[in-house]
Structure 1
Amino acid sequence: MSEKRATARALIHDARRRFEEAGLADADQDSRILVMELLGLSHTDLVLDGDRRLAEEAVARVEDAVLRRLAREPVYRILGSREFYGLDLKLSPGTLEPRPDTEVLVDALLPHLRHRIALQGTAEIVDLGTGTGAIALALLAQCPEARAVGVDISEDALATATANAAALGLVDRFSTRAGPWFAQTPESFDIIVSNPPYIRTAVMEGLEPEVANHDPVAALDGGEDGLEAYKAIAAEADAHLNSGGVIGLEIGFDQQDGVQQVFEQAGFLRLEAHRDLGGRDRVLIFGRKQD
């Protein structure tokens, strides 16, 4: 790009053109997010100051980001963080990138969490496969009386979740445990929540490079039937769920019947089912049958 065209508006236009030529989806959105975030611009800034010539360093930063996106690195991986439920969350190689559809799980659990707090003054949450800490931290941010434990097999993920909790002022109510599911977590909880790996192994090869090359495999691969994690959680959940507590799970769009069967066989009753922003099955809430 010539020096005289090195403006924010021109950089967005150039990035969009290159993304479109490369066949990338969401070229317009990606170009705007990358350039505006890297330059620290709001939409108002772009309107009022989008034609101001930029320093060479800023142009070089944007060019590096554009090249990374053309190499199929996701936008928010390039930026290093992503917003989830109004919280800015740092990403790292060991964490799944939080998606907007997972906010449906937070929405579904909040009434149950607030009910528990109204009854007993506080509530204990465990987030299995916590990753960035997104779900647990979103719940804590909404309910200052609650406490949460984030569990993950990845030390990198746990370090990232702890850093996110600290940055959000939630670290005094958030702790972590390293290990699979309940292995290092003997306590019982009012809310058990998880967005576990649920993609069938046979489908993994067909994932887009943005997912396959940048989200950790352990956070994606749900085994041959996509239900391995649900079976593991269901097998131990009864011993870790307080009376009257609930289990909240994200599921794949075609897994409602399979996950429901797994948990019903383990003694749980489906209380609620919720769809995501695209109208697909996404969240199930379970309680004990005898509760």
Structure 2
Amino acid sequence: MAQAAARLRAAGVPDPARDARLLLAHAASVDAARVTLIAPEEIAPEIEERFEQLVALRAVRVPVSQLVGERAFYGRGFKVSRDVLDPRPETETLIEAALAAPFDRVLDLGIGSGCILVSLLAERTGAQGVGVDLSEAACLQASANAVLHGVADRADIRQSDWFGAVEGRFDLIVSNPPYLARAEMADVAPELALHEPAMALTDGADGLSVYRLIAARAQGYLSAGGRVLVEIGHLQGPDVRAIFAAEGWADIAVLPDLDGRDRVVQAQNPA
């Protein structure tokens, strides 16, 4: 494990000791908290071989979540792959804000792994949801997570270009859209640039185009007084607030994540 950590450190991996421990636990099929308990034992050759393969992949910056096939989010484990954006702790800010008010029908634009929609439906057992994504692979991944967490009968997951295949009205619309500007992609970590879908990271323009689309069209899919919640980049609060204000939304607020950075814009349908 020490040798693996040194190798990962040399490859520029941010937290090499933690990753080495997680990968050894996965290779040995034990909980990460129990790795120290097996430390005195002789490691079986097949475990050593699996561990070596995992470390080699992590050294070329494949995310740990893709190597172990799962990422924790809002108290649940979500299956992930290179076809979807890795669920991240800051997105839990959006979940908390969504759960702060009642809703019966929720729409998730750009569902990805399904972590947002599935978490909301799991927390609100009487709610129904629709999730859309342009990526068929993402829809399949989200559907698998809906089954895993027992909400598949309340989750309608469709392949769609944003509102293209959406019908009806919702109490809540949520989205974690691609918000990196094209110019920012040159500076993102290798884990994102090389191993996560570019279409989930950037709009290929200024990083604000999807907010303009949602602000312009979402009122037509919301019930009176319904809410929209969108995750944003931590420097985008003023711009996204202005986009929603220009479209006549009410009660626009920029909400911080646990680190105090702008993370979610919330707005209400004025109708």
SS at match of 2:243: helix
Name the counterpart of 1:164: 145
Aligned length: 271
Higher Cα radius of gyration: 1
Any idea what the Cα deviations from partners look like across 1:49-106, whole Å, max 9, x if unmatched?
3221121111111110000011111111111221111121111232111111101110
Q: Is the 1:264–1:270 Cα contact (8 Å) retained in structure 2?
A: no
Q: Distance in 1 between matches of 2:38 and 2:168?
A: 55
- The aligned amino acid for 1:96 is L
Name the counterpart of 1:139: 120
Name the counterpart of 2:17: 28
- The answer to whether 1:259 aligns with 2:240 is yes
Give 1:235 shift. 1.4
SS at match of 1:283: strand
Any idea what the Cα deviations from partners look like across 1:20-42, whole Å, max 9, x if unmatched?
22232111221122222332323
- The answer to whether 1:174 aligns with 2:163 is no
- The answer to whether 1:65 aligns with 2:46 is no
Q: Distance in 2 between matches of 1:212 and 1:44?
A: 30
Worse-superposed segment, 18-27 or 250-259: 18-27
Name the counterpart of 2:79: 90
Name the counterpart of 1:80: 69
Worse-superposed segment, 223-232 or 246-255: 223-232
- How do 1:108-123 residues align onto structure 2 when only pairs under 5 Å count? 108-112=97-101, 115-116=102-103, 123=104
Q: Is the 1:93–1:156 Cα contact (8 Å) retained in structure 2?
A: no
Q: Distance in 1 between matches of 2:258 and 2:248?
A: 30
Give 1:201 shift. 0.7
For normalisation by structure 1, the TM-score amounts to 0.89
Decide which of 18, 23, 37 is 2:26's aligned counterpart.
37
Task: Give the unaligned 5+ runs of structure 1.
Answer: 1-11, 117-122
Q: Distance in 1 between matches of 2:68 and 2:256?
A: 29
Name the counterpart of 1:103: 92
Any idea what the Cα deviations from partners look like across 1:207-257, whole Å, max 9, x if unmatched?
221101111111111343210111111111010011121101100011011
Name the counterpart of 1:238: 219
Q: Distance in 2 between matches of 1:38 and 1:271?
A: 47
For normalisation by structure 2, the TM-score amounts to 0.95
Q: Distance in 1 between matches of 2:4 and 2:165?
A: 47
Following TM superposition, the consecutive aligned residue runs of length 4 or more in structure 1 with deviations greater than 3 angstroms are none
Q: Distance in 2 between matches of 1:184 and 1:75?
A: 34
SS at match of 1:172: helix
- The aligned amino acid for 2:93 is V
Name the counterpart of 2:207: 226
- How do 1:184-195 residues align onto structure 2 when only pairs under 5 Å count? 184-195=165-176
- The aligned amino acid for 2:152 is V
Name the counterpart of 1:18: 7
Question: Are the structure 2 counterparts of residues 199 and 44 from structure 1 closer, same or farther at C-alpha, using a change threshold of 3 Å?
Answer: closer
Question: Are the structure 2 counterparts of residues 76 and 110 from structure 1 closer, same or farther at C-alpha, using a change threshold of 3 Å?
Answer: same
Q: Is the 2:21–2:32 Cα contact (8 Å) retained in structure 1?
A: no
Name the counterpart of 1:7: none
CA RMSD between the two structures: 1.4
Q: Distance in 2 between matches of 1:213 and 1:21?
A: 18
- The aligned amino acid for 2:114 is G
- The aligned amino acid for 2:10 is E
Q: Distance in 2 between matches of 1:187 and 1:252?
A: 29
Task: Give the unaligned 5+ runs of structure 2.
Answer: none
Q: Distance in 2 between matches of 1:82 and 1:209?
A: 18
SS at match of 1:213: helix
SS at match of 1:183: helix
Give 1:133 shift. 0.4
Name the counterpart of 2:37: 48
The percentage of counterpart residues that share the same residue type is 39
Q: Distance in 1 between matches of 2:35 and 2:63?
A: 23
Q: Is the 2:58–2:64 Cα contact (8 Å) retained in structure 1?
A: yes
